[in-house]
Amino acid sequence: MPKLFTFFLSLCAALLPAAAGAQDTPPTQSSTGLRPDSVEAGGLAPPRVLTLDLTRNANDIWDRIRRGFGMPDLETPLVAEQQLFYLNRPAFLKQVFARGGRYLYYIVDELERRGMPTELALLPMVESSYNPMAYSRAHASGLWQFIPSTGKNYNLTQDKWVDERRDVIASTSAALDYLQTIYEMHGDWHLALASYNWGEGAVGRAVQRNVDEGLPGEYARLRMPEETRNYVPKLQAIKNIVARPELFHIDLPYVPNEAHFVALEAPQGIDLATAARLAEMPIEEFVAFNPGFNRPVIAGTGQTLIVPVDRAAHVEMRLNEFQLAGRGWRTYELQPGERLAEVAQRYGLTLAQLQQINGLNAQSRTGPGYSLLVPDGIDPAGALQAARLLPNTTFAAPAKPALVKPGRVKLGMTAPASKAAPAAKGAAKPASRATPRAAAKAAGPKSAPPKGAPAKAAVKPAAPAKPAAGSSAKRAPEKPRR
């Protein structure tokens, strides 16, 4: 016992100096990152730095997009202006981000497979508000807003049955091909994006003009149209919001980091409304997954239908049952001297219904051998319903050729309807895509945007504000086009 008591006294004697020394040490940082004495003195916390733990799986698609950011940030007053525009419209942001949730996983997957920065997954928000049915005055169409000529350059089929500029899978592949091409041309993502908006030829000449004048050739120092000056800031503003939504008090809709849809072989002769019914989906939602069709009926072979991945097995089984039933739609070729009204009556349709299903109007010219879709043992009501959701595209030849006045553009041409020289003249192929001021028929904010605000909304944008003093918009040598 005396030995134990002596050991206890020795231990206490050893600990007392350490405790006394601890009282003299300066206060340490708290768990909040602030020193207590600095809090008492009214000191401010250091800026919060978000970090990404790449050792764990992404929480959702937004987390995955953040991990793949690879473009240099652009920090200009225009970025702040665009950012304020979006933040003042939280309902619009919520609507567009939710709509993009259908397509984001596929786009991000393709970007990562190619080793491209994931900021590009946000570009369709600038282009079309993630609306694959968006269509501009320059005839640009789809999520990525291809004009007809550039779509053909990138093998996007455009005929009376389909328009692959609106097809999510085909158009995404073409857009990423194009973006890779113009990035390799300039070696700079900001210049590549400006080329996507204005045309690679126009951007190349603007860079050379600066070099000749002894000025930097970077994006922010170029003289360019106002729309192109605001194009990269729009994307940067969206990137900033996605990167730190909590900083801006924005709740991004939950989009799981998993495949959202799969492609199934489409049976010949099925209409989109019947396919939607077999998939147990509203026709509007089904068309949003399958926006590339110009007709409400799939008449040929080799086509696919996009359906949600969680119901793919069930839908595939029901599509096979439909094919075995032998009922659906077929094509009928007009005979010499036969009128459309006669064909409509023979198949239990009105003339207006036959024209609607086949994308015809009173001015369309048809003749012997022209293929028409007609019902074959199926109720035409579903196809008529689906036809009302599709673009009113007519591929039949008009009764009389349209006269084009000098300086004007006929439907389908790619030159801008202005006296300015085409911006892409002399540019390396493929040609640039569409005018940047394309008023896409997509859902968008109802209030009029400020100068340079996002213009890809369904509503017609208000007249732009006058450029600020010293703006390069008035000095732009060419009108923007894509």
Number of other residues whose CB lies within 10 A of the CB of residue 75: 12
Q: With bands split at pLDDT 50, 70 and 90, how would you rate the model's confidence at 419?
A: very low
Q: Which residues of 273-303 are buried (b: 16+ CB within 10 A; e: fewer)?
A: bbbbbbbebebeebbbbbbbbbbbbbbeeeb
Both 78 and 204 in one domain: the answer is yes
The model carries a pTM of 0.73
Domain hosting 358: range is 261-398
Looking at 380, 398, 416, which one is the last position of a domain? 398
Closest CA relative to residue 61, chosen from 113, 97, 114, 115: 97
pLDDT at 127 over 50: yes
**The pLDDT value given to residue 53:** 58
3 state SS of 335: coil
Lowest model confidence (mean pLDDT) among 39-43, 254-258, 330-334, 343-347: 39-43
Structure tokens at 325: 């039933």
| Count of domains observed in the chain | 2
**Between 16 and 389, whose confidence is greater?**
389
Please give the pLDDT value at position 425. Answer: 33
Q: Which amino acid, 58? A: A
pLDDT tens digits, one per residue of 361-400: 988 989 999 999 999 999 999 999 999 999 976 554 444 3
Across 175-194, average pLDDT: 98
The predicted pLDDT at position 395 comes to 52
Residue 31: band (very low, low, confident or very high) from pLDDT cuts 50, 70, 90 = very low
Question: Domain boundary at 398, 433, 463, which?
Answer: 398
Q: What is the arithmetic mean of pLDDT over 142-166? A: 97
Average pLDDT over residues 178-185: 98
pLDDT at position 57, please? 81
Q: Is residue 373 part of a domain?
A: yes
333 a catalytic residue: no
Q: Which residues contact 176 (CB under 8 A, 6 or more apart)?
A: 110, 111, 114, 116, 120
Within this chain, do residues 129 and 86 fall inside the same structural domain, yes or no?
A: yes
pLDDT of residue 302: 92
145 in any annotated domain: yes
- Better pLDDT: 453 or 147: 147
| Domain presence at residue 33 | no
- pLDDT for the residue 394: 57
Query: Which residues share a beta bridge with 271?
Result: 297
Residues 243-260 have pLDDT tens digits of 999 999 999 999 999 999
From the number of C-beta atoms within 10 Å of its C-beta (0-12, 13-18, 19+), residue 318 rates as middle
DSSP label of 276: H
Let me know if residue 35 belongs to a domain: no
Mean pLDDT of 172-198: 97
Does a structural domain hold residue 467? no
The reply to whether 154 and 294 lie within a common domain is no
Pinpoint the alpha helices (H) of 2-122. 2-24, 36-40, 61-67, 77-87, 90-100, 104-114
Q: Mean pLDDT for the chain?
A: 80
User: How crowded is the C-beta side of 155, counted as CA atoms within 13 Å?
Assistant: 6
State in Å, rounded, how far the first CA of the chain is from the last one.
95
3-state secondary structure of 361: coil
Domain-embedded: residue 408: no
Q: Residue 362's pLDDT is what?
A: 86
Residues 241 and 265 in one domain: no
For residues 295 and 371, membership in a common domain is answered with: yes
Domain co-membership, 239 together with 276: no
Return the amino acid letter for 444.
G
At residue 449, the pLDDT reads 42
Contact 141, 300 (CB under 8 A): no
Compute the distance between CA of residue 203 and CA of residue 424 in angstroms, rounded to an integer: 9
Identify whether 430 is preceded by a cis peptide bond (ω within 30 of 0). yes
**Does the residue 223 lie in any domain?**
yes
Q: Are residues 283 and 381 in the same domain?
A: yes
Residue 207 lies in a domain: yes
List pLDDT tens digits, range 85-117: 999 999 999 999 999 999 999 999 999 999 999
- pLDDT attached to residue 409: 31
Closest alpha carbon to 458 in 174, 163, 148, 95:
95
Question: Higher-confidence residue: 5 or 229?
Answer: 229
List the structure tokens of 352: 């207006």
Same domain, yes or no: 231 and 294: no
What pLDDT, on a 0 to 100 scale, did the predictor assign at position 393? 61
Residue 210, token pair as written in the block: 């600066």
Residue at token pair 């998993």: 258
Same domain for 242 and 271: no
Q: Give me the pLDDT at residue 55, please.
A: 62
> What was the pLDDT predicted at 432?
41
- Average pLDDT in the 203-221 region? 96
Choosing from 40, 75, 127, 280, the catalytic residue is: 127
Which domain CATH number covers 227? 1.10.530.10
Placement of tokens 């550039």 in the chain: 150
Return the H-helix or E-strand segment holding 332.
strand 328-333
C-alpha torsion 288→293→298→300, nearest 10: -140
User: What is the DSSP secondary structure assignment for residue 290, as one 8-state letter?
Assistant: -
Question: What's the pLDDT at 470?
Answer: 35
Last residue of one domain, picked from the residues 398, 415, 448: 398
Query: In terms of domains, do 348 and 214 share one?
Result: no
Q: Which residue has the higher pLDDT, 34 or 17?
A: 17
